[in-house]
């Protein structure tokens, strides 16, 4: 019997699953589309009802795959998409969101993120986000690849306190955010969305992680995801195009790591001891 997936809490109090589904590289190869749709549907079926996508992925192709996967079950899903920085002007953000809505086949995106800081003034992007929120086209907005300084800048803007998430590179081998950014976000009840939680698959070939996982009768992916699920208010969004691997990832929510096991992971992947520049892909 599987345990319910733990939840993370958005600043407005809404609960979302702390384990969701990534979509980067989906929609790139036409002949893979049906399998990708099936993988996302398998995830939703087993409770991974948060789906992360972006207008950038396959130039809209990943949003189309996502739209196909959630057709007829939109209300069961918490949908996250992102605007490209080059589109993130006052009017460009609204137009980009409307194009995403069309590709996704829905009338609203639950959480809409600025993919990374860009050349358009942040103030204009935030104004557009607030307009989209007021019109109901998005439920909440947030940012991605924002370091502590950029977070301070966004939160000082009019409406900036409504920032609901920061999606950053975070996994066992990239723990820099734990020193400063994560505590800053935690103080404001802003969840961290951990992208590339398996380090794009590289972590799965780590010999020490492999050994420890075997000893616990887990897969390395499950152990890497269980670590993130033990962190407060972190949402991990592993991507897999295989229903079997999606279900394997889902089982990481059933794992309860002991203090000793967490210490062993800390020894293998030491937490940061000083401030570090934000890592990103």
| Residue 185 near residue 191, CB atoms below 8 Å | yes
248 makes contact with ligand NDP (CB under 6 A): yes
Q: In this structure, which long-range contacts are made by residues 119-124, counting pairs with CB atoms below 8 Å and at least 24 apart in sequence?
A: 119/85, 119/86, 120/85, 120/88, 120/89, 120/92, 122/153, 122/154, 122/157, 123/157, 123/158, 124/88, 124/89, 124/90, 124/93
Which x/- pattern over 216-235 shows residues binding ligand NDP (rule: CB under 6 A)?
A: ---x-x--------------
**Least separation, in Å, of the C-beta of 177 and ligand NDP?**
13
204 makes contact with ligand NDP (CB under 6 A): yes
Select 64 or 239, whichever has its Cβ closest to ligand NDP.
239
User: Residue 92: helix, strand or coil by DSSP?
Assistant: helix
> Quick one: which of 119, 167, 156, 188 has its CA closest to 278?
167
Stretch near ligand NDP under the rule CB under 6 A, chosen from 83-91, 127-135, 200-208, 264-272: 200-208
197 makes contact with ligand NDP (CB under 6 A): yes
249 makes contact with ligand NDP (CB under 6 A): yes
How many residues in the shown chain lie near ligand NDP by CB under 6 A?
28
Select 195 or 227, whichever has its Cβ closest to ligand NDP.
195
CA distance linking residue 138 with residue 80, whole number of Å: 9
145 makes contact with ligand NDP (CB under 6 A): yes
24 makes contact with ligand NDP (CB under 6 A): yes
Stretch near ligand NDP under the rule CB under 6 A, chosen from 86-94, 150-158, 177-185, 190-198: 190-198
Applying CB under 6 A, among 241, 253, 261, 265 the residue interacting with ligand NDP is 241
Applying CB under 6 A, among 141, 195, 227, 269 the residue interacting with ligand NDP is 195
Check if 57 is active-site.
yes
198 makes contact with ligand NDP (CB under 6 A): yes
- Measured torsion, CA atoms of residues 104, 107, 110, 116, in degrees rounded to the nearest 10: 60
CA distance linking residue 161 with residue 132, whole number of Å: 16
Question: Which H or E element spans position 263?
Answer: helix 259-268
- Measured torsion, CA atoms of residues 39, 40, 46, 49, in degrees rounded to the nearest 10: 170
88 makes contact with ligand NDP (CB under 6 A): no
| Residue 141 near residue 108, CB atoms below 8 Å | no
Stretch near ligand NDP under the rule CB under 6 A, chosen from 19-27, 70-78, 119-127, 263-271: 19-27
Binding residues (CB under 6 A) for ligand NDP: these are 22-24, 52, 115, 144-145, 167, 195-201, 204, 219, 221, 237-242, 245, 248-249, 281
Residues with catalytic roles: 57
């Amino acid at each position: 019997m599987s345990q319910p997936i733990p939840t993370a809490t958005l600043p407005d109090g809404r609960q979302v699953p702390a384990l969701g589904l990534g979509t980067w590289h989906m929609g790139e190869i036409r002949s893979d589309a049906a399998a990708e749709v099936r993988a996302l549907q398998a995830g939703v079926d087993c409770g991974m009802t948060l789906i992360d996508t972006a207008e950038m992925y396959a130039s809209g192709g990943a949003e189309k795959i996502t739209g196909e996967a959630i057709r007829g079950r939109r209300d069961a899903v918490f949908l996250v998409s992102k605007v490209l920085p080059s589109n993130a002007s006052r009017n460009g953000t609204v137009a980009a969101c409307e194009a995403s809505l069309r590709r996704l086949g829905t009338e609203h995106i639950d959480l809409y993120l600025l993919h990374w800081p860009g050349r358009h003034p942040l103030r204009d992007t935030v104004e557009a986000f607030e307009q989209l929120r007021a019109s109901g086209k998005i439920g909440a907005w947030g940012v991605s690849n924002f370091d502590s300084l950029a977070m301070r800048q966004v939160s000082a803007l009019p409406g900036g306190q409504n920032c609901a998430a920061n999606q950053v590179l975070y996994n066992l081998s990239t723990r820099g955010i734990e020193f400063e950014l994560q505590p800053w976000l935690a103080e404001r009840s802003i969840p961290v969305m951990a992208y590339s939680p398996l380090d794009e698959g590289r972590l799965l070939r780590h010999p020490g992680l492999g050994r420890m996982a075997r000893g616990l009768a887990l897969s390395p992916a499950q152990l890497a995801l269980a670590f993130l699920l033990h962190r407060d208010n972190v949402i991990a969004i592993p991507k897999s195009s295989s229903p079997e691997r999606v279900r394997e990832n889902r089982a990481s929510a059933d794992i309860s790591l002991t203090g000793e096991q967490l210490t062993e992971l800390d020894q293998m992947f030491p937490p940061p001891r000083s401030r570090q520049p934000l890592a990103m892909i």
